Chain A
């Protein structure tokens, strides 16, 4: 059953890719559309990786753009100035961001809840100011002339890898330890879970993928500007909104939210001003009526759906 499921998933994923390629070659999907699909994949990576920190481990971080920025700038520096192959640059960007995650994780973990949130936000801004003052990556002028290496296929593949790795992680003993830390740190410690270790681990893994997403992004846009909306707290909050709307602790929720909230603004380009009014209202309403997000801690899958229907049927028979 399990093997069959993964076979179906693989086929479906491959099919999506082939359909996109086919539509592109037929000219039905314009390059602009494919660009947006790549952006969807990049956002999926960002949102799922932040969900590991915020949703699964319960460590409220609003500095994800800092890790993203490290990956974006470091990889761009590597491909532009050192002519490193792109895949290697992605990995290096991820590793550097992951190391930054370790560096933030270690001290930040002494903080809880909203204090941690503010500290991570502060960290993100510090990264931005450092980039702003580093001439090697363009400083305040921004980093231009980055080669366009990011293709839809590469973004798509990286997104799949991210989702699979994080899903596997959270369903392993390591992920369960993270869940335990989120649910009740004292109880988790009493069961032998070293809560500090798992917080740092979640930060490092989340940061690694955010860095990889950054690398894909800088080689997608070909230009990085050290502005709050591109690598600062506005970006962090954008990612956070997607995580929250998709549901803390739901990977499928994150994927839906990332795709939906990437495509919708493109469709509503004329209403850009209203978008920034609707988003926050949506956020507040969701918090009031469904504080854990739309798909909180639940995963959407065919077998869950089948179970749900069977359950409903059985229930119907009973009554």
Chain B
């Protein structure tokens, strides 16, 4: 295959992977926007979402769409409980204490999942027969199309919620100025819960999509994509919703192009190299505005 066609193919693969990163990154960015917390356990909620989907399909015998809805609802509940139990008591503590708690929560999810679901990987039930669609010199699989479709649908939904509903407006108000929002009668606790619920539901959807895409799920599958999605959020400008989408897509493409050029083991280093470069040269992200630091 000539290199430019290979690159084009990797671009398609990259966009598919990037859509997943974008879905996860949205949760990071929304939570960070509201409570300035890097929710380290977010990647593990994505993992739980995949498992919930797995059991919804295999045990409840649901088809893909209802299974995804069940999984998103369950993950939303986990996200809300996580915030209630682990993060809320620390809201006035130092950010480092909260970050450590988030790391703890992440470990807890992983080891619990390992205990409950088993340490080895599970093949994800294929709700869709595999099909390749030829597009000139390159091809796209129906699973990739599913990823694009679901991701775009969810992003549009999120956009509508954030911009046109009362909860969404309250979220934006809290993100800009917590005290002012409080004075305007916004129930901050409820808004934070809603943010966790939304973010977690998106992550769960991403988990199922990836489960289908790679055909396997395991208790540690959330670690790397979680970190990479965080990098995507930072790349786009953390706290900025469209930034997460842009960052996620860029990240997916960059990663796949590196695989074309170099070795696949370098793949995981790309994310972090990108992170360090972004933080150094454009710490507010591609879509971020420069803020004034107060003395």
Contact = CB atoms under 8 A, between A and B. Distances in A.
Most buried by B among A111, A114, A130, A133: A114
B114 A140 contact: no
Given A125-B268, A277-B111, A133 B263 contact: yes
Interface string A58-98: 00101000000000000000000000000000000000000
Contacts, number: 116
B268 A277 contact: no
Nearest to B85: A284
Interface stretch (A17-25, A116-124, A151-159, A214-222): A116-124
A139 B272 CA distance: 20
A284 B230 CA distance: 22
A114 B268 contact: no
A288 B107 contact: no
Nearest to B267: A129
Contact of B234 (A60, A118, A228): A118
A291 B272 contact: no
A279 B107 contact: yes
B99 interface: yes
Contact of B96 (A60, A123, A228, A284): A60
Contacts of B106: 280
A288 B87 CA distance: 9
B279 A119 contact: yes
B283 A283 contact: no
A284 B99 contact: no
B108 interface: yes
B31 to A, nearest CB: 12
Interface in B17-63: 37-38
Contacts of A288: 86, 89-90, 101
A290 B115 CA distance: 28
Given A273-B114, A276-B111, A281-B104, A287 B93 contact: yes
B268 A129 contact: yes
B156 interface: no
A17 B77 CA distance: 54
A contacts with B: majority SS:
helix
A126 interface: yes
Interface in B202-251: 223, 227, 230-231, 234
B105 to A, nearest CB: 7
Majority secondary structure, B binding face:
helix
A186 interface: yes
A240 interface: yes
B266 interface: yes
A133 B114 CA distance: 29
Contact of B94 (A117, A125, A186, A291): A291
A228 B220 CA distance: 11
Contact of A186 (B266, B280, B295): B295
Nearest to B220: A228
Interface residues of B, number: 44
Given A119-B279, A276-B114, A240 B100 contact: yes
Nearest to A117: B99
Contacts of B96: 60, 113-114, 117
Contact of B227 (A113, A121, A277): A121
A107 B265 CA distance: 25
B5 interface: no
A60 B99 contact: yes
A244 interface: yes
Given A273-B115, A280-B111, A122 B271 contact: yes
B273 A126 contact: yes
A111 B283 contact: yes
B95 interface: yes
A172 B279 CA distance: 33
Contact of B103 (A115, A123, A277, A283): A283
Interface in B62-91: 86, 89-90
28 contacts: A60-B99, A62-B103, A115-B234, A115-B283, A118-B230, A121-B272, A122-B272, A122-B273, A122-B276, A123-B276, A125-B269, A125-B272, A126-B272, A133-B266, A237-B107, A273-B111, A276-B107, A276-B111, A276-B114, A280-B107, A281-B108, A283-B104, A284-B86, A284-B101, A287-B98, A288-B89, A291-B94, A292-B97
Given A113-B96, A280-B105, 10 more contacts: A117-B99, A119-B279, A122-B231, A122-B276, A133-B263, A244-B100, A276-B114, A277-B112, A287-B90, A287-B104
Interface of B: 37-38, 86, 89-90, 93-101, 103-108, 110-112, 114-115, 223, 227, 230-231, 234, 263, 265-266, 268-269, 271-273, 275-276, 279-280, 283, 295
